[in-house]
A and B are shown apart, each in its own frame.
Chain A
Amino acid sequence: MTFARRFARFVRGSVRLVLAGNGLYWGWVALLAVLIGSGVAAYADQVSTGLVLTSMRDQVSWGFYIGNFTFLVGVAAAAVVLVIPAYVYDWKPIREIVIFGELLAVSAIVMCLLFVMVDIGHPERFWHLVPPWGHLNIPRSILAWDAVVLNAYLAVNFVVVTHILYRAFCGRHYEKRLVIPLVLLSIPMAVGIHTVTAFLYNGLAARPYWNSSILAPQFLASAFCSGPAILLVVLQLLRRFTRFEIQDEAIWKIAELMAYAMFLNLFLHGAEAFKEYYSDTEHLLYTRYWFEGLDGHRTLVGYAWTAVALNVSAFVLFIVPAARRNRVTLNLGCLATYSGCYIEKGMGLIIPGMTPDTLGEIYEYVPSITELRVAAGVFAIGFLVFTLMLKVAVPISLGEFQDDVPAAAPVVPAIV
């Protein structure tokens, strides 16, 4: 009974927190709402008319949606960058902010699942892969594995953050026997979701551009750049707009880790480019389409070199200690990392993988307006989820939103 009442107080309090905000907050929420509305309208058209409203065709049968999906799996996986130092090495400055990494992971997985849903021809049949009602083609289908690990990763992160936050609300420390094993489990799972997603492409011998064993390691390397890039921006915003204190050391440490990840990312890309160009087999075709264009088809070339330039400059900005400690260059580095990885892992992975198609035809894919609107809507849903969760999580972490604790001393925020 007390639990029910307390939980009701928690829900009421959360709703109050979410509804309280200044003009900036409501402007942000309104912007997201507009994007969501436009996305839903575009998606409704797509459902009734069909995926013909996208630019995807038989030649390039995956596009913008699946590119975004792949990128966001990386963002979700990157929460582990924070979890490892926080829980394994018990490094205090990061430990205080790990909860935000996990919230980011939850929002990213929500977007991933939505991007798959908007890509499939029959979203209402999703239960066909939910046993016992459906039939999950495990162990053979990698997409089946991906559905399992993504949902499990979502569940683990959701349980951990809600448990920690709710316990903090109740003024109690989290249950160590529950949280520690789950957090430790989430580390291999984070690697797992991204590896499985890489295998989704990697295993297809029909697509030489993907059929390279460097794909999974390279996915992880770029994930450990792009995920923290978002997080660094979020942490600075939190520091700016709330009483939340985030130490500079934590931010600098994350930026340093990103520099190593970016080095690895560039190195792995270089290794792949060397193999393709030096051996110069028929498989070079797809890499050439990305970097040089083929027979005058040059749509992606600008993106390719922009991504290279962005990633290299991000590496330079983060490896030089003075640059990552300077607020301006730090944020420029985050922006460069995010956009570099976004281009390279979205369009740069999916489209050259399918161009030219398996019979040699070149169909130049550029996302349609419908695809852009739907994708913007999905991103807006993800950002909205993240914003609302932060709106509740931050006051709890600060000890501002807490249930009345009977007697005793007010408990310090029990996040750590």
Chain B
Amino acid sequence: MKSLPVRNEPSEPCATSCSRRRFASVAAAAAAGWLLTGCGPKRLREMPRDRLRRALDEMEREYSVQQGRPVKVADTPPLPGVLFGYALDLSRCIGCRRCVYACVEENNQSRDPQVHWIRVLQMEKEKGIDFREANPYYQPAEVPEEGHFYVPVACQQCRNAPCVKTCPTGATWTEPDGIVVIDYDWCIGCRCCMAACPYGARHFNWTRPAIPKDELNPATHYLGNRPRPQGVVEKCTFCIQRVRNGRYPACVEVCPAGARKFGNLLDPESEIRYIIDNKRVLVLKEELNTLPKFFYFYGT
């Protein structure tokens, strides 16, 4: 009979396979843990409320240190049953640009270089609304000028927003109250949304935005007027930090001609609904099917 070879190291292979298995399971657990935290929501849009608040506390600390005084970053949620809408009376607007600068101050746009969320276009009465003939750089001593009218343009808060569609990272979206917002910490600055916007409403921070310390509005909202970094896109949010607390947007308050109207489209008793029901209302570039919630009308 043939003798069997002696196995003098029987435990060796087992030991390696055991430790390998243990290593594999530990590694798998570590990887799973890392993935779970890694996959957790990082966009402000999907953060659970408590984590969001912690993130905003962090922002408040950062901004307060930068500014040398307390800065608040609110997370006021949308109100149920509210869909914001805007109407602008073309027959009243005198082109004074008060709205432009009230917006800059309220929403902490960069002063140098200047970023304006509202662009007031001067147009000729003879030609009607024609962007080819528009002049955004009119500078007479006094407005309005004879034979002209004025069309202020900011974000039209489209219901079918081309900007939201194009964003590759989902850094911009429409809130339940109809405001299109941007997560400045998630935007990669590719500017697809700017190419897609038919209203020139989106603005890029081509360099670090500069605001003199004492001019920063410390009452901010995380989806609106909190300070922005260089290299991201920003735009009008209907003053989300105000309107979610029942106030008017800054441009509505400042308009000396009373040309700007704002309210809840879902409330049949609201002024905005009265205008839509009773005035000659139009939207810009209707043929693009963007379905703006920003209406223009002729009040008189």
Contacts and interface: CB of A to CB of B under 8 A. Distances in A.
B27 interface: no
- Interface size, B (range): 35 or more
A220 B155 CA distance: 35
A356 B132 contact: yes
Contacts of A23: none
A326 interface: no
B198 to A, nearest CB: 4
Given A62-B191, A205-B288, A52 B207 contact: yes
A58 B167 contact: no
A141 B167 contact: yes
Contacts of A200: 192
Contact of B192 (A50, A134, A141, A360): A141
B138 to A, nearest CB: 12
Contacts of B205: 50, 121
A359 interface: yes
A50 B200 contact: no
A136 interface: yes
Contacts of B35: 132
B68 interface: no
- Cβ-closest 6 pairs across A and B: A121-B189, A121-B231, A360-B131, A50-B207, A206-B198, A52-B207
Interface string A157-189: 000000000000000000000000000000000
Contacts of B148: none
B129 to A, nearest CB: 11
Given A51-B231, A128-B171, A122 B196 contact: no
8 contacts: A52-B113, A61-B195, A116-B190, A128-B188, A136-B168, A204-B166, A206-B162, A206-B196
Interface stretch (A142-150, A222-230, A231-239): A142-150
A3 interface: no
Given A50-B207, A56-B206, A359-B131, A135 B194 contact: no
Contact of A204 (B131, B134, B162, B208): B162
A331 to B, nearest CB: 37
A57 B39 contact: no
Contacts of A128: 169, 171, 186, 188
Interface string B188-224: 1111101111111011111110000000000000000
Contacts of A140: 165-166
Interface string A266-286: 000000000000000010010
B44 to A, nearest CB: 12
B204 A58 contact: yes
Contacts of B130: 360
B180 interface: no
Contacts of B289: 205
A66 to B, nearest CB: 9
Interface string B211-245: 00000000000000000011110000000000000
Contact of A120 (B190, B196, B288): B190
B52 interface: no
Interface centre among A49, A119, A204 (most CB of B within 10 A): A204
Contacts of A356: 131-132
B119 A359 contact: yes
Contacts of A126: 188
- Interface size, A (range): 35 or more
B188 A120 contact: yes
Given A58-B200, A206-B197, 14 more contacts: A119-B191, A120-B231, A122-B187, A129-B168, A134-B169, A135-B186, A140-B166, A141-B165, A142-B192, A206-B162, A356-B132, A358-B198, A359-B131, A360-B134
A302 B25 CA distance: 66
B133 interface: yes
A128 B130 CA distance: 39
B231 A359 contact: no
A50 B168 contact: no
A201 to B, nearest CB: 8
Interface in B100-142: 113, 119, 121, 130-134, 136
B147 interface: no
Nearest to A50: B207
Nearest to A119: B190
Nearest to B206: A52
B145 to A, nearest CB: 18
B153 interface: yes
